[in-house]
Amino acid sequence: MRFSIFVPVALACALAGRVAALTITIGGTVGNVSATDFLQVPASMSACAATCKTATDAIAACTDDHCLCVAPTVTDILACEQCEFTQLIAQNIPMPDPRVGSSTALTAYGAACLASANVTVPATSLTLALPSNWDGPFGQALNAGGTAVTVIIGLGLGVGSIFLLSNM
Ligand SMILES: *[C@@H]1O[C@H](CO)[C@@H](O)[C@H](O)[C@H]1NC(C)=O
Ligand SMILES: *[C@@H]1O[C@H](CO)[C@@H](O)[C@H](O)[C@H]1NC(C)=O
Report the mean per-residue pLDDT for the chain.
80
- Angle, in degrees to the nearest 10, between helices 73-91 and 49-61: 150
Residue nearest to atom 3 of ligand 1 (CA): 25
Task: Give the residue from 62, 74, 73 showing the smallest Cα distance to 127.
Answer: 74
Return the percentage of the chain with pLDDT > 90, whole number: 64
Residue 168 pLDDT class (50, 70, 90 cuts): low
pLDDT band at 137 (very low <50, low <70, confident <90, very high): low
CA pair distance 168, 165, nearest whole angstrom: 5
Query: Do 48 and 80 contact (CB within 8 A), yes or no?
Result: yes
Number of CB atoms found within 10 A of residue 100's CB: 24
Q: Please say whether the beta carbons of 132 and 85 come within 8 A.
A: no
Residue closest by Cα to atom 4 of ligand 1: 25
- Please determine, for residue 6, whether its predicted confidence score (pLDDT) is greater than 50: no
User: pTM for the complete prediction?
Assistant: 0.72
Ligand nearest to the CA of 116: 1
Q: Does ligand 1 have an atom closer than 6 angstroms to the CB of 32?
A: yes
* pLDDT over threshold 80, residue 29: yes
pLDDT at 155 over 60: no
Q: What is the DSSP string of 88-117?
A: HHHHT---SSTTTT-HHHHHHHHHHHHHHH
As a whole number of angstroms, the distance between CA 25 and CA 5 comes to 37
For ligand 1, mutation pick of 25, 30, 65 (most atoms within 8 Å of CB): 25
- pLDDT band with cut points at 50, 70 and 90 for residue 78: very high
Percent of the chain exceeding pLDDT 70 equals 68
The pLDDT value recorded for residue 138 is 56
Average pLDDT over residues 102-127: 97
Q: 136 CA distance to ligand 1 centroid (A)? A: 35
Distance CA 72, CA 31 (A): 26
Q: What is the DSSP string of the chain?
A: -GGGTHHHHHHHHHHHT-----EEEEETTTEEEEGGGT----GGGGGGHHHHHHHHHHHHH--SHHHHTSTTHHHHHHHHHHHHHHHHHHHT---SSTTTT-HHHHHHHHHHHHHHH-----GGGG-PPPPTT--SGGG----HHHHHHHHHHHHHHHHHHHHHHHT-
